Every structure is written in structure tokens, then in C-alpha cells.
Structure 1
């Protein structure tokens, strides 16, 4: 069958069962891979079109006045689908609406094979940034004149389908064969297309320059990088001058390059720190161009001294930018060659051996797992790295991937058939051969702790986004454990035991003992975590703190002497007895496996033992060992399962640990960020990290003209932000947002310090904007990742984006998409957060002021990050509206204003500020 009928509908809402109607139909017919017919009509729904739909589609009541009703054209529409595939972008929506309307009009529903281009694009374009039609059309360079209009959307969907069919026609035999085994669990009826492709391949030659087939999997061949670093003959100053000057290499290699004095000075400063073997703290404000500023001294020093340099970032987003953009630019421009490698933790890389065994078990796959396997099969024909961050997996797919990452492998056995093709081993090998390694803070901190090296040895490192480094290190020197991970480790141990006993000689009695022991240990874990959950809930009346996703938090210091803690200690001991017995039985099997020469089984068992030993170490540390240098706390989901319990511990002071395990061992550590100082002073970050007075400290100002680009507005007539009843304050915030939105046409980011306040404001604003056409997008309420929400915001006219926690930084919305930033409250950490409470108590015991030494510096740095969301280029212009007037009234307010660039600041009544905003914009 070679006929495809592509359909798109515009409707008054989401559900025909709620009485929603079709207002426009677009149909495109494809035969012989060319468009042969098209059809479009408006339809009178017999009801008023909601304002939101009119804003989205541009279709108003007057556009459908006098148009036919659906029953008038139902026969004509139905006739298109004879002997064809039905194709739609999110086919379930369009087909449900179409069949409901056809049945109401007295026609038979359409029952033809269906192709959903969202699902097909997910599988065949696994690295696309998003699967919205507008984003895909941009990604594939299709013209899309009128998004959310039926015929325009249908024509783009038709183009997309043809492109996807071309992609399908390039897949190798093995990939198609595996896809065929997954097809029954997918939404699209792909069987006919896949079988046709297999028939074609039966007559094609098997030679392929790009792919290799190994153990039934088609994977991309990776060319060996034979290039070696060349010598450097010029001095650093000569190269920096040729790179950065107005008519230099960067001007020739980059569009719109502007020489920046601060960029050159920062480069020179880093080179000096490396040469003098000193540590440095460098604050580079937005617009400095810090990535290129530190890359040049890094690659130059690495090649010149023939010694490896590491660059560490907090976000994978910045790693991708360095590897895909800045480093290739320098490789093109510089007169010497250098090798770089990206190395992440094992959990980022696909394990081919785990994936191979998962593909052999498809009988019980649900939709999410089948879709994830299909995506990964196609991605393997494209990827050279095996790094899952390349793939746009659905959220359920990300959970499934954890079982197939290199971290879940039983072994990194050099004799494994997959070892020579292991993505993780390949990344490690590339790192050993590289001059510059790009990694993340988490792996850098793990490397400090591990006895075996995760990173190749190095003496000089640049840490970007350094304001996160202390918190990341604290997490790595602490512990994090939860019921789900313990349950997973126990289940893994049982699976490994059962597989081993299938292969090794073992008595029935021993297996029965194991089964009983394992069941009992699981019960002990269940009982303990349920008891902890109930205990924390029973403490709720004492006004426990909550984190930013609403979990209750209980610090163990507060309840150490209670009888419940004695019960938890007793239950812990019982659980650990069970886990130790499980380890004993596994080790007995290890001996048997070693005697039989079954190395793979032995390694698998040892891996399970290592995981169970981790449970023992962490539970002991949490409940059975007292250490006043650690803060320990429990988090529970109030409305989650009764065992939804999370255990955490962190050192109270990380400075000495960092000094001993990191700064004292490295020749030069350069830490940089846009937010390291408070009132131009580095004292707070120096104390946090344990850096001495010999550390170089320097600030590099932004080249942006903040005086001309920003207005800071603070109202003096808002209700008190700290009142017990925060409704009056939230109402005032929502009224101000609405008034500002009418001035800026939406294009607004609103930053909250608590998820609870975000939810309340969102609900209230939803009511206030009911008859208006603003699109409200809210973290934790609107589905999707942070990047997805940001893209939705940028693609919607008149949108308002609500964010908390992660939205205060790393969200880059340049240009006219963002004109207004609202900061609802100054971002002080909740005083009842366990880490803050414990650190504050320690400072108080030392006779220090916890507010000035801890709460205020953290809040100022966070505020600077939030403030930095608005101006991302020299042409950006906008308003920062801070609803919290403590910034102007409180004696500590000057710390906030003196820590951001000097901007025109207005402290007036809300009405006056709104007039000023309208006039200035």
C-alpha cells in the first residue's frame, strides 16, 4: 500500500466527549511518494470559539460564520481515506475527533492502518530537540507559514512523513528486524513498511562503510583519531593577541565577534595562574565570553607543557556548548593542533551488553519500554559516543535507561565480547589520549574519593559554574539513599543469584534458604522504611520544613533521643543482619564460580555483593554511627507511597576535605563563575572552599551597558512578604504580573523561591486571566523538562513562564522573547532546611552571626543568578521587578543592590512603577 492520507484538525478544545467541535480540516494525499491532492475547509462548530483557541490558531467566530457544518462534508472527507494509511502528528487526537464527528454525522468510523508522525519522529530522529511540529519543521528546514492552521500543519506533516520514510529506507537489516519484533507494542502500524524494507534489503549488498554489525546489532563505526598535538612555537601573548584583536582570528572565524578587554585580561590571568602554580577565583560577569577566555590558556598550556588539563562544568548543556561550538572553533583557528575528550560518569553511556540482553526479552514490554528500545536501536546507527544526553528520550525511557547504562554493567571485563566496543571504555581511552578533558563537577568529586582513578591524572583544572562546586562536593562526601534504590539492589542480587544457580552446581536446600532469607530481608526493609515514613509524618504537627518539591524534611539531630529513633536503630540492625547473610550466600557462590572457571558469573556476583555492602555502609552511617560533623536528615513524600523515604547525610564543613583531597594535591585550580562575590568580595566563597589568602581573586566586568539596558523596579506598597497569611502578598504579585504583562505583551519570567507559592500564584493568575489570552507555563504544573518549558515559552506569543529552583540559572532566553523578569521574593534558603539549620547552629556555637555569614551570602549569589536571566546580549533590554521591598528597606538590602551591575533603580508605588515601565519600554 503506497497511499498515505495526512490529516490535521483545528478544534474548539481537547475532547469530543466534552462537546468540543472541529473548526478546520486539512487533508493531503501522498501516492508514489509525491503529493497528489489536498483539501481544506473551515467548519461552523455551532458554538463560540474560546479566546485561547482563537489566539493559538488565529481562527475567530467571524471566520467560521457561514462555513459548512461537519455533516455537510463528512462523506467527502471519509472518501479520502479509502485504501490508505491515516497519518497525523499525534494521530490519536485527530483520529478520535474525526471518528467521533463521522459517527455523529451517521458515517462509519475510519479503520485504516495508522502512522503517528510524533512516534515515528521519536524513533527515526532520536536526537531532535523536540517533537512539536513547529520545532521539527525548523530542525529539518521545512517552510511552515501558518503553525496551528490545518492545511499548513498538514503540508508540513506530509513533508515530515516523506523525510521519515526516507530515513526508514536507510536503516540496515538488523535494525529493521529488531524494530519488527517491537512493532506490536507501538502505536503506529509499521509492520507492512518494515516487512517491505526487509524484502528490499534481502537483495542489497551487505557492505557498509559507516556501520558494522556485531552480535545482531548494527552500530556506527568510530574512526580512530590518529591526530596528535603539534608543538607551539609562539608565546602565549602573541597567540592571544592574534586571536582576540579586532582584525584577529576570532573576527575572521565568528560572525559578530566584538573584542572584549575583559576576555583578554581573563585569558592572561588564567595563563599566569597556571604558570605560577596558583589557585584562582575569577568572577566573569555575563557577556565576558569566559568560555573562550579559559579555553585558550587551557589548550595552550596543555600542549606547551605536554600535561593534561581538565575543564569541569556543572551542567551538561555547557559541556555540549564547549564540545560542539567553542572547541571546534579554536581547533580551526589556532596554529597548533590539540586533542580534546568529553568524559562523563558511567551512568551516561549505553551498555551494549545490557542492551543486547534486553532486546532478547520483548514479550512483556509495555509501550514506553518498546518505544525506548526502538529509539536506541536507530540511535546506535548514528552515535559515535553512546552518550545518552544526545537522545531526546521520553521521561519513562530515562528511567528504563538506568538499567542499560554502563553503570549497571556487571563487569568491565576485557574478555567480554563487547569490551572493545564499550562506549564508556572508548570515552576513557579518548580521555587518556587527550590534552584537554571536559567533564562535570560530579565526576570530578567522585574522582577525589575513589581509590581507583575515574579521570586520568592531572595537575591543573578549570572549574566553570564554580558556585555549585561546594554543594556538589558536599553531596559526594555525604550519602543519598532511598527505599526504591535499596529494593532495586536487593532485586538485582536475587536475579544474579538465580542466574548463577542455573549455571552452577547447587543444592535445592541452599536455594530454599536463600529464597527465605531474601524474602525476609525485603520484609525488613519494607517495615523499616514504612516505620520511618510514619514517624516523620507524626512529627509534621511540629511544623517540619519542606523542600522545593514539597517533601517533608526531618533532621535527625532533633529526634536523636526519641524512643522512635531507638526502634529505627533496632530495625536497621535487623535489616543489616539480613543483608550480611545475603552477602555470605553470594560469596559462597563466588567461590564455586571461581572453581568452575566461570569468570562472568563470578564478576556478576561480586558486583551484587559490592552493591549490598553499599547498603550496609550507608545504613550504618545514617542510623548507627554518631558524627557531629555531619548533618543527617530524612525526606518523605507526604502524599506518596508509605515507603517513599529518602535518607541524606552531608558534611557540615567541606572546606577541610576539599583542601586535603583536592586543592593541596593540585598545582593550579582556577574557579570561575558569573556569581562568586558579595559586594565585590570573595571572602564567603573562599571560606566555603577552604582557599587561603595566596589565592588569586579577580573580577571581570561585563561589557554590557546595564545603565541603558535595564530598569530595576521595587514597589513600596506591597503587603508584608513575611506575614503568616501570604494570600494578600500573592494577590498583589499576581495583579502586578498581569499589569506588567499588558505592557510587555507577556514575554515574562517569574522566579519563585518556593513551589507552594508558585502553585498558589499560578492558580490565582489562571482565574484572573480567564477571559484573556496569556499562555501560562509553570514548572511542576505544565508537563515537560525545563528546556521543554523554555521552548514552549519562546514559541508562544504572550506567554508567562513561572519557575523555581533550577530556573534561577542556566535558562538562556536572549532577544525579544524576554522583556520582563519578576523576582517574587529575595532567595533566602528556608531557615528550617536541615543543612542551613545545622550549619547555622555550628556558626552560633562558634560565636558567629549565621545570617551574615551564611544566609545572606547564599541569597545574594542566588539573586545575582536570577538577575542574570534578563540580559543575555548587548541588544537585550528589559525590566527587573522585585516584589520584595526588603531589598530597599532592610539594613542588609544594600548587599543585594551593590552585588549586581549598577542600574537605574526605582522604589515607588506600584502604579507609578507601571507608568515608568510603559514609558521606558
Structure 2
């Protein structure tokens, strides 16, 4: 079959079951790889079209008033699909709608073979940032004239399909062969296309030097680079002049270059710290260009002194920005070559050996797992890193990836053919040869607390986003245990007679009939599952009972309960300890049986490496559960650690999360990190409170005798770019007027939205308040005008919500927690920032409470030493969302009058750039905002 018919529909809504109707049909026919025909018609839905759909598509009631109904056009439409593939960008939607309408007319449904371009795009362009039609079209350079009109969308889908077909025809034999094995579990009927291509390739000699293959798996050949050792024989001052000064390389590379004195100043301070063997805290305000400011001295130092320097970031986007944008740019700026490499933790890299083993097992999986395998097969022909962060897997695809990451490998065997092909080993080798190694705080902390065995050796480091170092170190020194991950691990292991891991392992080896080493497995295993369920259900009920009167909520809506030894309900807590002890006992039995099984198979000379790895990784996992249970329930370490339980009150009765973290990281970081290294530079846009570094210095354990501190001011003219407004007539939350306060906030949001045409980010400190405000806004706002997007309510990740915010013209984005930082929306897309409450931690938050008690015991003021500095730094992060470039303008509207009225308010206002502040009635502020814009 060589005829492909592409369809796109515009409809009154998402569901034909809710009586939604088709309002436009666009159809394009492809024959012999060319578009040969088109068909388009508006349809009268015999119902009103909502303002939202009119806004989206441009189709209004008057446009379809004289249009035919679907009933009149049904036969003409279905005739176009005779003897063809049916193609759509999300086939279940378009074909589902079409067939529902046909059924209502008592006509035969379409049963054509289908090709879904969403699914095919995910498989064949796994590195695309988004698979929505407009975004994927942009990614493959297809111009989209008229989005959300049926014929235009059908044309774009047709052109996309031709690109996808081309891409399919470029894949190597082994990849096509593996895709063919997965085809029956996919939505698209790909068998014929894949089979035809496989037959073609069988008679073709492939000449692709970039692709290697082993054991039926094709992947991009890894290229090793040789380390050049250039000589640097000029001074650092000359080097900086060459880059920063008039007619320097920076000016030559940037068409609109404006010299930033702060950028060079920062480069000089970093080099001074390196040279004098000191640590440095450098706050670089927005607009400094801090990435370049620290890369320039780091590269000079690393190459000249032949000393590797590690650069660590907290977020993946900043890592990508450094590697994909900043470092290629620096290559053009500096007068000598250098090498930079990225190194992440093992869990980020795919193990080719494990992936090949999963493919060859032939196990039928759910749809997400199949789609993930297909995406990885194509990605392996493109990736040079094997880092899974390069692609967007379906949600449960990450569960599959856990099974095939390097983390699941046992001890590496350098003699194995897979070892030389390993992406992780390649990344380690590249890092060993590099001048600059980029990593993340997570791996940096894992390295610090494991005797420096994960990163190549280094003496100097730069920590960007340094305000997150303490929090990351605490998490890595602490632990987390939850029901879902234990349950998932146990389900993966399974009983002897199941088709899960252990059952398959046992059935693949021959055993002596008298061998009884795992006879008890099923019995013990079922007891473990029962005990896990019992313990977590009991914990859920315990927290519910203990917190009937007062509840502490995390920013993701979970109830939190701090464990305090000696203050728990004696009888119930003893029951919990007995349950944990019993569970540990059964886990030990499972470990013992697995160890016996491994010894037996090794003795019989039967055990394959993959299976040996799996047994050892499983034993390690079970041992980790034991260690965590012991630390959480059986070891009392109240002075040094805080332990707490989180439950999802409206979730399953075993949705329980257990945590333990050190109360004070200062001594650990001082002894394990800062005393070990020659020079560590810590930088961020938010390190000071009222221009003082003392808070962050104390929290990180930095000794004053080896420390340089410097604040680099922003080059932006905040006086002209920002208005800070605070209403003096909001209800005071302190007196229980939360509902009134929410209504006042929502009224202000609506008034400001009129002035700024949306383009507003609203930051909350509590998910509960966000949720209630969303409800009020949804009821009172004209949703045909504004797109209201809310974290935790609107579906999608943080980056997806941000993209939607930018995509729709008049958007209002409500965010909490992660939206206070790392969200860059420059230009006119963001004109107003509303900060609902000053971001103080709730006093009963388990970690805050424990740290506050620790400070009180030391005779310190917990509010001034902990609560206030944390809130100020968080506030600065939120404030920093608005102005991202020299041309940005906007209003920061702070609903919390404490910033003016409270004694500590000046700590907030004096910690941000100097901006005009107005404290007045809401009406006067709105009038002023209107005049200012």
C-alpha cells in the first residue's frame, strides 16, 4: 500500500462522548512520497462554539452557520480513505472523533491501518524538546502557516510524515530489525514499512563509519579525544585584556557588546582566590554574566597550571547551557585550546549491555515500556553521551530506564567487550583528560561523602547555584524510604513461580533435584510483602491519629510529621519498632537465600555475568532497605539528625514517605570538603542578606581565615525598570482572615491582569493557598480572555507549564516551590510578578523545627539566624524572576504588608537592588501601575 491519507480535525471540545462535534476537516493525500490531493470543509456542529475554541482556531458560530453538517459530508470524507493508511498527529483523537460521528450516522467505521505522527516523532526524533505539532514542525524546519486550522495542520502533518519516513530509511539494519520486534505493541501499523526497509537493507552494503554494532544492537561509535597540552606564556592581566577590553575578543564575537565591569571584576576575584589558595563567596546579581565570568579564570588556571577544575551546578538546564552555549562561545574568546567534559551519576547513563539483555529477553511489556525501547533504539544511533537526559521518555519509561542504567551493572569487568563500548566509562575517561569537568551538586556530594571515588581528582572547584549546596548535601548524607519504591522493587523480584526476575532466572538454569536452598523463598517473600504493607499502613494511621488537631503541610500538599524519640506514643511506637525489626529479619532471610543461590550457580559454573550483576544489585538494594529501616526506627540520633514522615492524606493508605537528614551540615562540609580542597568558589545571585554573607558562611561551615567575599552589582537600571508595590489595605492573615486575604489577592491579580494583559507570574508559599486562589480566579475570571495555568493543577512539568505560559498571549501562571527560581521568562512575556506571602518556612516544618531547636540549644536566635535569612534569600530568588535583561520592565506586587510594617521588613527591601517602593491602598497602586505601563 503506497497511499497515505492525512487527516486533521478542529472540534468544539475534546470528547465526542460529551457531545463535542467536528467543526472543520482538513485532509491531504500522499502518493509516491509527494502530496497529490487536498480536501477541506467547515462543518456546522449544530451547537454553539465556545469563546475558547474560537480564540484557538479563529472559527466562530457565524463561520459555520451556512456550512454543511457532518451527515452531509460523511460519505465524501470516508471515500478519500479507500485503500490507504490513515495518518494523524494523535490518531486516537482524530480517528476516535471520526468513527464516533460515523457510528451516530449508522455508517461503517474506518478500519484502515494507522500511522500516528506523535508516536513516530517520539520514536524517530527522540531528542525533540516537544511533540506537539507546532513544536515538532519547528524542530524539523517545517514552516507552519496557520496553526489550529485543519487543512494547514494536515499539510504540516503530511510534511512531517515524509520527514519521518526519510528518517526511518536512514536507520541501520539492526535498529530496523529490533523495531520490527516491538511493532505489534505500538499504535502505528509500521510492519509493512519496516519489513520493506529491512528487505532493502538485506541487499545493500551499509557504509556508515559512525555506527557500530554488537550483538544485534546498533549505536553511534564513541570517539575518544586526545588531550592537547597547550603552553600559556602570557599573564592573566593580558589574558583578561584580550577578552574584555575595547576591540577584545568579546566585542568581536558579540554584535551588541556592552562592557560589564562586574564581569571582569568577578573573573579577577576568582583568579585571586585560586592563586592564594582561598575559598570565595561571590554573589553575582542578575545580568552580571557569571557563567562566563567564572569560566574564563577557571580555564586559564586549569590549562596554565595543568590542574583539572570541577564546576558544579544544581540544575540540569544550567549544565546544558554551560556545555551547549557558554563553552563553545568561550572557545572563540580565548587564545588557546582547552577540553571540557560532563560527568553525571551512573543512573543517568544507559548500559548497552543491560539494554541488549532486556531486548533479547523478548519480554512483552506495557505500551510505555515498548515506546521507551523504540525511542532508545533510535537515540543510540545519535547519542555521543548515552545520557538519558537528552531525551523525553514517557512517564513510566523512566521505570524501564532504571533497569537498563549503568546503576544496575555490577563491578565493571575491563575484559568485557561491553566495557570499551560503555558510555559511562567513556564519560569517565573524558573527564580524566579534561581541563574543566562539569558535574552536578548531587554527584559532587556523593563524591565528597564517599572518599572522592566518583569524580576524577581535583583541588579547585566552582559551585554555581551555591545556595543549594547545603540542601543537596543534607539529602545525600540523609536517606529516604517510601512504600512505592519498596513495592516496585519487590514486584520486580517476584516469586520463584512467577515470570518476574527471579522466576525467569530460576527457570533458565538447571538445578540438582535435591537442592533446597530457596525452597522457602515464596513463603518468606509473601511475608515480606505483607509486613511492608502492614508497616506502612500502620505508619499512615499513626500520623493521622497524632496530627488530628494540627497539621503541617509540605509545599506539595503532603502532611508532615516529625519523629521525636522519647515523645512518641509509647505503646504504638513500640509496635512500629517491632514491625520494623520483623521486616528486617525477613529481608535478611531473602538476602541469605540469594547469596546461597549465587554461590551454588558459581560453583556449577553456570552463572552468566548479567545474572550475577542482577543478584548482587538486588542484594545491595535489600541491604539498603535494612540499613534505612534501622536508621529510621531502631537507632536514636536525635541530636544530629531530624527524622520525619510524610503522608498523602487523600492518597492510598500506605502512601508514606520516610526521611532522615543531618540537622547541621557545617561541620561535615568543613571537614570533608573545604579543608580538603585548595580553593572552592561558591557563587549565586542570592547569597547575602543585607549585603552580609554571614548566614551562608555559617550554614556551609566556611572558616573566615581562608575566605574572600564579594558582591557584584547588576548592570541593570532597576530604578527605571521596576516598581515594587505593597498594598496597605489587605486583610491580616494573622487574625484568621485567610479567605478574605485570598479574595483580596485574587481581586488584585484580576486588576493587574487588565493592565498587563496577563503576562503575570504569581508566587505562593503554600500549595493550599494556590489551590484556593485558583478556584476563586477560575470562577471570577473571563477564561475566554485569559489562560490560567497552575502548578499541580494544570497538567505537565514545570518546563511544560512555562512553555504554555509563553505560548498563550494573555496568560497567568500560579506557582509555588520550584517556580521561585530557575524560571527565566525575559521580555514582554512577563510584565508583572505577584508575591503573595513572604516566603518564611512554616515553624512546624520538620527540618526547620529541628534546626531551630539546635540553634536555641547553642544560645542563638533561630528567627534571625535561620528563618529570616532563608526567607530573604528565597524572596530574592522570586524577585529575580522579573528582570532578566536590560530592556525588561515590570511591577513586583507584594501582597504581604510585613515587608513594610514589620521590624524585619528592611532585611527584604535592603537585600534586593534599590527600586522605587510604593505602600498605598490597592486602588491607588493599580492606578499607579496603569500610569507606569
Q: CA RMSD in A?
A: 1.8
Whole-angstrom distance in 2 between the partners of 1:203 and 1:532: 64
Whole-angstrom distance in 2 between the partners of 1:185 and 1:533: 38
Whole-angstrom distance in 1 between the partners of 2:803 and 2:614: 43
Contact in 2 for aligned 1:2/1:32 (Cα 8 Å):
yes
Q: Mapping of 1:423-822 within 5 angstroms?
A: 423-451=423-451, 453-490=453-490, 499=505, 503=509, 507-557=514-564, 559-560=567-568, 562-596=570-604, 598=607, 600=609, 601-627=611-637, 628-694=639-705, 695-770=707-782, 772-822=784-834
Whole-angstrom distance in 2 between the partners of 1:143 and 1:587: 60
The secondary structure found in structure 2 opposite 1:698 is strand
Contact in 2 for aligned 1:492/1:608 (Cα 8 Å):
no
Whole-angstrom distance in 2 between the partners of 1:816 and 1:418: 51
Instruction: Tell me, yes or no, if structure 1 residue 247 matches structure 2 residue 247.
Output: yes
Provide the residue aligned with 1:56 in structure 2: 56
Structure 1 residue 590 displacement after superposition: 4.2
Contact in 2 for aligned 1:350/1:386 (Cα 8 Å):
yes
Whole-angstrom distance in 2 between the partners of 1:585 and 1:818: 60
Provide the residue aligned with 2:898 in structure 1: 886
How big is each residue's C-alpha offset from its partner over 1:314-373, in whole Å with a ceiling of 9 and x where there is no partner?
001100111111111112332211111100011101111221122134443111111111
Task: Structure 2: give runs of 5+ residues left out of the alignment.
Answer: 495-499
Provide the residue aligned with 2:873 in structure 1: 861
How big is each residue's C-alpha offset from its partner over 1:850-905, in whole Å with a ceiling of 9 and x where there is no partner?
11111111011001001111111111111111111111111111111111111111
Provide the residue aligned with 1:335 in structure 2: 335
Whole-angstrom distance in 2 between the partners of 1:331 and 1:626: 54
Structure 1 residue 131 displacement after superposition: 0.8
Contact in 2 for aligned 1:351/1:409 (Cα 8 Å):
yes
Contact in 2 for aligned 1:631/1:835 (Cα 8 Å):
yes
Whole-angstrom distance in 1 between the partners of 2:486 and 2:107: 56
Structure 1 residue 514 displacement after superposition: 3.1
Structure 1 residue 656 displacement after superposition: 0.3
Larger mean CA deviation between 553-562 and 315-324 belongs to 553-562
Whole-angstrom distance in 2 between the partners of 1:390 and 1:122: 13
Relative to structure 1, is the Cα distance of residues 44 and 242 closer, same or farther in structure 2, using a 3 angstrom cutoff? same
Structure 1 residue 169 displacement after superposition: 0.9
Structure 1 residue 492 displacement after superposition: 5.7
Whole-angstrom distance in 2 between the partners of 1:616 and 1:365: 30
Structure 1 residue 39 displacement after superposition: 2.1
Provide the residue aligned with 1:200 in structure 2: 200
Structure 1 residue 488 displacement after superposition: 4.2
User: Normalising by the residue count of structure 2, what TM-score does the alignment of the two structures yield?
Assistant: 0.96
Instruction: Tell me, yes or no, if structure 1 residue 296 matches structure 2 residue 296.
Output: yes
Provide the residue aligned with 1:324 in structure 2: 324
Whole-angstrom distance in 2 between the partners of 1:89 and 1:491: 35
Contact in 2 for aligned 1:343/1:431 (Cα 8 Å):
yes
2:864 to 852, 869, 885: 852
Instruction: Tell me, yes or no, if structure 1 residue 138 matches structure 2 residue 138.
Output: yes
Relative to structure 1, is the Cα distance of residues 651 and 359 closer, same or farther in structure 2, using a 3 angstrom cutoff? same
Structure 1 residue 446 displacement after superposition: 0.4
Relative to structure 1, is the Cα distance of residues 5 and 246 closer, same or farther in structure 2, using a 3 angstrom cutoff? farther
Q: Mapping of 1:277-288 within 5 angstroms?
A: 277-288=277-288
Structure 1 residue 596 displacement after superposition: 4.6
Whole-angstrom distance in 2 between the partners of 1:808 and 1:327: 27
Contact in 1 for aligned 2:759/2:830 (Cα 8 Å):
yes
Larger mean CA deviation between 514-523 and 443-452 belongs to 514-523
Contact in 1 for aligned 2:482/2:658 (Cα 8 Å):
yes
Larger mean CA deviation between 205-214 and 310-319 belongs to 205-214
Whole-angstrom distance in 1 between the partners of 2:321 and 2:258: 19
Provide the residue aligned with 2:185 in structure 1: 185
Whole-angstrom distance in 2 between the partners of 1:259 and 1:214: 53
Structure 1 residue 729 displacement after superposition: 1.1
Relative to structure 1, is the Cα distance of residues 118 and 497 closer, same or farther in structure 2, using a 3 angstrom cutoff? closer
Larger mean CA deviation between 275-284 and 508-517 belongs to 508-517
Contact in 1 for aligned 2:222/2:421 (Cα 8 Å):
no
User: Normalising by the residue count of structure 1, what TM-score does the alignment of the two structures yield?
Assistant: 0.97
Q: Mapping of 1:899-914 within 5 angstroms?
A: 899-914=911-926
Contact in 2 for aligned 1:246/1:258 (Cα 8 Å):
no
Relative to structure 1, is the Cα distance of residues 273 and 538 closer, same or farther in structure 2, using a 3 angstrom cutoff? same
Relative to structure 1, is the Cα distance of residues 492 and 103 closer, same or farther in structure 2, using a 3 angstrom cutoff? closer
Provide the residue aligned with 1:351 in structure 2: 351
Whole-angstrom distance in 2 between the partners of 1:604 and 1:438: 30
Structure 1 residue 246 displacement after superposition: 3.4
Structure 1 residue 221 displacement after superposition: 0.8
Contact in 1 for aligned 2:408/2:617 (Cα 8 Å):
no
Contact in 1 for aligned 2:55/2:784 (Cα 8 Å):
no
Relative to structure 1, is the Cα distance of residues 409 and 492 closer, same or farther in structure 2, using a 3 angstrom cutoff? farther
